[in-house]
A = this chain, B = another copy of it.
Amino acid sequence: MQFKILVVDDEQDIIELISSNLQREGYTVILAMTGEEALELLKTTTPDLIVLDLMLPGIQGLEVCRQIRALPEHADIPILILSAKGSEVDRILGLEMGADDYMTKPFSVRELISRIRAALRKSAKAHPPKKTAHERTFSHKQLFIDFDKYEVTIKNKKVELSPIQTKLLFFFAKNPGRVYSRDQLLDQVWGGEVFVTPRNVDVHISRLRRLIEEDPQNPAYIVTVTSVGYKFDDSKA
């Protein structure tokens, strides 16, 4: 698995130093130049770790830290604070605000990376992958699914789906984000031994959309990836 790291800093040099090194280590790096931008980003993305510079324009770094911690869905992303001041006060404040680690500038890149690794290890242990075999429910935007009850609810209204439509939707919901080709869907949803046209997938998607999408022309859940297939859109916005 590849970890996604959000770096919040306003100095171009530092950004490049950090991001190129993290990328070399195999991490995916997301950047934000200001606290506002970082908070904005967090509405749509969930990084595995945040590197936060305390000396930011606009919202003060500590405030950003506090606000991140206030969001329930991001309450346990590890935050690593960078600070120019080596003052003990900042350090303590930062840790109190919910930061997980603290480094002062100038810092050694090597040390930064090893602290990031350590933080990710710790977080992985603290939140082991939910291997509850099957999640019993799923919810996203206005869509709610109860896999046990075979019930689909959209905008708090129950929707009646046919067997295949249900399987199709369940499959997408269990594999959000990833794109599947028509053939893959035939394999996974219909089962390998069927002899049907790939076009048939289109038809069922269309029928499904009519039932669960507000505007079937602009699907919010199952989106088409032209010339590739379809995917369940898991973006937050």
Contacts and interface: CB of A to CB of B under 8 A. Distances in A.
Given A144-B30, A235-B158, A117 B187 contact: no
A150 B144 CA distance: 25
A121 B2 contact: no
A88 interface: no
Report copies per complex: 2
B115 A149 contact: no
A30 B156 contact: yes
Interface residues of A, number: 61
A162 B29 CA distance: 24
A192 interface: yes
Given A196-B114, A237-B16, A163 B227 contact: yes
B162 A226 contact: yes
Interface string A200-237: 00000000000000000000000001111001000111
Contact of A114 (B148, B149, B150, B197): B197
A2 B187 CA distance: 19
Contact of A2 (B2, B137, B149): B137
A179 interface: yes
Contact of A231 (B37, B115, B149): B149
A149 B230 CA distance: 10
Interface in A152-205: 155-156, 158, 162-163, 177-179, 183, 186-187, 192-198
Contacts of A226: 162-163
A41 B156 CA distance: 7
21 contacts: A16-B236, A23-B140, A28-B137, A30-B144, A30-B156, A32-B156, A111-B195, A114-B195, A117-B195, A118-B192, A118-B193, A118-B195, A121-B186, A125-B187, A125-B192, A148-B178, A149-B178, A149-B179, A149-B231, A150-B225, A163-B227
Given A118-B193, A118-B194, 6 more contacts: A20-B236, A28-B137, A31-B155, A37-B156, A117-B198, A121-B192
Interface of A: 2, 16, 19-20, 23, 27-32, 37, 41, 45, 111, 114-115, 117-118, 121-122, 124-125, 135-137, 139-142, 144, 146, 148-150, 155-156, 158, 162-163, 177-179, 183, 186-187, 192-198, 225-228, 231, 235-237
